[in-house]
Structure 1
Amino acid sequence: MLSHSARLAVFTVCTVLAGIITAGESSVSAAAADTQPPTAPTGLAASDLSCSAVTLSWSAAVDDTGVAFYDLYHDGQALGSTVAEVRTITLGVVAGARWGFYVNARDAAGNVSQASNTVSVTPPFCSEDDAAPSVPTGLSARAVGTAVTLQWTAATDDVAVTGYDVLRDGAEVGSLSGSAASPPDTTFTDVGLAIDTDYAYAVVARDAQGNISKPSDPAQVRTGSSCAAVCGITQVATERDLPWGLTQLPDGTLLYGQRDLFTIQAMASDGTDKHSIGTVPDAAGTDGEGGVLGLAISPTFATDNWLYVYHTTATDNRIVRFQYDGTLRTESREILVTGIPRNKYHNGGRLRFGPDGKLYAAAGDGQDPDQAQDLDNLGGKVLRLNPDGSVPPDNPFPGSFVWSYGHRNPQGLAFDSHGRLWEQEFGNNVMDETNLVVKGGNYGWPACEGTIGDACGTPGFVAPVQTYPVAAASCSGIAIVRDVLYIACLRGTRLYRAVIDGDRLTEIQQYYVGTYGRLRTVEPTVDGNLWLTTSTRGDKDSIPQNSNEKIFKITLGDG
């Protein structure tokens, strides 16, 4: 039996307790001529759940040349692999944390199946804990304009402090989470406050079983007379399905996709007159994160009315375009790119037109990491195409849509004032990345995750501009306004703001930490501010309308 450790969703270590498992096993190339993936494993079930372990078992997949490995995942993060003969394994878990396990099959040539069914478990706590953490101390508050930054001394607990809730005038305005292995932050920035106004703040500590400390001593602060950065946030709409792609028309109309319903909604910029403009033909879910994803309008939309959509089908991800004149003219559909790998997770999906008039698309690796380095495959790439779907002659690889490669699951694309492309990418279990994408660049996945990996110094690999621990990130959408980069984070439940200074990101700040939950998409408004969407419920399945999401408008200052 070999041991394997992987950082998990609660940012702690999972240890395999039984079975044979290997991490990062490279595909065997002897059967390279085989291009047929196995069928999806079936019958995944959990048993013997305890506070520290769970046993998983599944039925064999079928392949024309034989299954070689089974790859184990939880919620999109790789845990490791068993050999084909091992279909029962016991894994370490963390009490109180939800786990969504599934399995993919892989053959000797590296072809990866679609995912098995998902099994969700929440391990019980090993013992009852009724002792509250100590009271946080040393709370201080400092105002810069209409933003207030709080700092305090960490509380203690008999087991572990796993979070802090921030109170403004007695009402909760933010929540910071962590674990025993990765303690929560002890700083918080509150933004969008009124000018020249007094506020009182306090902080409470909590543990994994919900015990809450008494509030800290209050900290009093008065805001300044103006706002320089993030000035305010207004909710403009609610949504029962998952808003994923979002774009604003020149007349101010907002269009956004309902990921799991496969429809596109239109509404006025104040949230009124919300209505469906049509359903995307052939769109399909993945029982995970597939569906109707990125949206973009043509740079010449005022004259050609083209709306571009990145969506999942039953067999692939693809890019299509439709005429839009108040409704989605499905009869005008043109299929521009097909064959982008799909799977339960890692579908990518963001679309962005560049200042060169070309359409750029973020394509995930389809949970087959080897595809990210395969220039004959569209998975794990940033793609570049002409608006009509043809390959630009100045692309780095003749006849190919590939613009850059070695990406895991990119979901954020944005251009700065110098015409440079920035990209946001999910790591597996250690680091997320913000990359400055260059023509033909290789960004290292799967040999590198951020800056982690023995091969990260390989000549030709492009290093990320910035990395973030996945517990504080797992970021999806990005937007650039006046050369400031904004990053919307899911697991990190926050919005990063970073000033672009040459090829660096400086003055990095965090806003709305835990205030609105998981944040998926951030986009510029036509008047120089931001749209922001949440993704708090149902974003790991394909069940329509099982969410309770919000669409916000953020007002920015000139700083």
Structure 2
Amino acid sequence: MQHPLAARLLITGTLLALTACSGAGAAEPRDTAPPAAPTGLTATAGSATTVHVMWEAATDDRAVTGYQVLQDGRPVRELPATTLMADVTGLAPGTRHAFAVRARDAAGNLSPATPAVPATTPRATAEDREPPTAPRALRVTPEGPGAALLTWTASRDDTRVTAYDVHQGGVRVHTAPGTATTARLTGLRPGTAYSFTLRARDAAENSSPDSAPADLTTAPAPGAPPNTSPLALAAASDRGEITLTWTPPDTGAPVTHHELHIDGRFATTIAWGTTPPPGRATYTFPAQAEPGTTLTLTLRARLPDGTWGDFSAPRTVIVR
């Protein structure tokens, strides 16, 4: 039989333990505040069956975790917080729709929807298989911190151009209407080398060849050192080989080593055993990829202090 005093001690000890646990694990207040509505919404009909929707990031007291795209008031796309554009597909040719976006946080709170923006898909053109001509005279100029303005000469098409797609490093980052010859890009990082290309598109989803690239290196952040990326990188492929040419950065000393990355992964180090030749550098290497494969190439130089500098603007090349 258990002694009464032992029972009282056991009960008291249990109560003390419970009291200690309840104090240590106090829950955070429930998140009931929704994010702010996204801003800067645009909707552009890219073809007879698609509309490209873009917006600027929303803010939240904790963090935005995703976005919801609405078509005519109904959710049609769910996207992560890192994505600020989407194609709405499967639309009927020659129809008008209204698009809006709202943000979501980790607690599931939804922001108010943006004001709806209309877009009308063009009518389909039967058996249109001819792509537009490539846009010409693409230029890019900085426009304040973190922004740039693209300008170009319009493409031609046997029907009409419905959209222009801006690509950076092989990835589409913006879509402008087919009537536009300018586009403003935002959200660029300071001290970074970019390379932009442009494609025209018609209502039948035929895309033009890429324009010639236009490069931009954004201004460094206050107090940061100047950009050290190799300049004017060019790439050409022939008979399974790729030839690169570029201008090494001005580092105050000869640049004897460059690092080549293919599709974002380290590929090889390009080294000169002696003082490198002046002017533009050239390097040829086997593609090691099937013909028709598209590769994205970047370079960076080894600086006099032994560290690696900034990456060049990317170049894409099709293996031939």
Q: TM-score, normalised by structure 2?
A: 0.39
Q: Higher relative contact order by CA 8 Å / sep ≥ 6: 1 or 2?
A: 2
Which protein is bigger by CA-based radius of gyration? Answer: 2
Q: TM-score, normalised by structure 1?
A: 0.24
Between Structure 1 and Structure 2, the one with more helix by share is: 2
